[in-house]
Structure 1
Amino acid sequence: MKTALNLQDADAFYECLLDAHQDLSREQSELLNARLVLILANQIGDNAVLKTCVAAALPPPAD
């Protein structure tokens, strides 16, 4: 899993993502996120890397 910033233009991607969610209902926004995750996972294509990414995205355990 890459931990250093790897996006060429992170701000532009974030803006694109926000624009995609504009005017969507909460349900539509959640479906967009789910589809995007699956599309990006397909681009990565490595189950070990994907599992590491999922683990890294989990919230930390409560104290």
Structure 2
Amino acid sequence: MVDTRWNSTYLMLECLHEQNEAVSADLPNSQELNLIVGYVTILQPLFLATKELCRENVPILLMVQPIL
């Protein structure tokens, strides 16, 4: 098994959520889609904070307060 960053998983789930019309035929029930929506909702703020903190042109300490 290859370890991946959690944000890669988030991006995959977000894409799956955006394509829910096309994917809904393959999902046996809406429970799985509800899980995906929940994961995307929970992970989105963490993804945005990580993306902001990984910028190279802004010192990290200056970004902590706005993110919190």
TM interval, short-chain normalised: 0.3 to 0.5
Considering only CA atoms, is the larger Rg found in Structure 1 or Structure 2?
2
Q: Which has the higher contact order (CA 8 A, sep 6+)?
A: 1
Q: TM-score, normalised by structure 2?
A: 0.34
Q: TM-score, normalised by structure 1?
A: 0.36
Higher helix share: 2
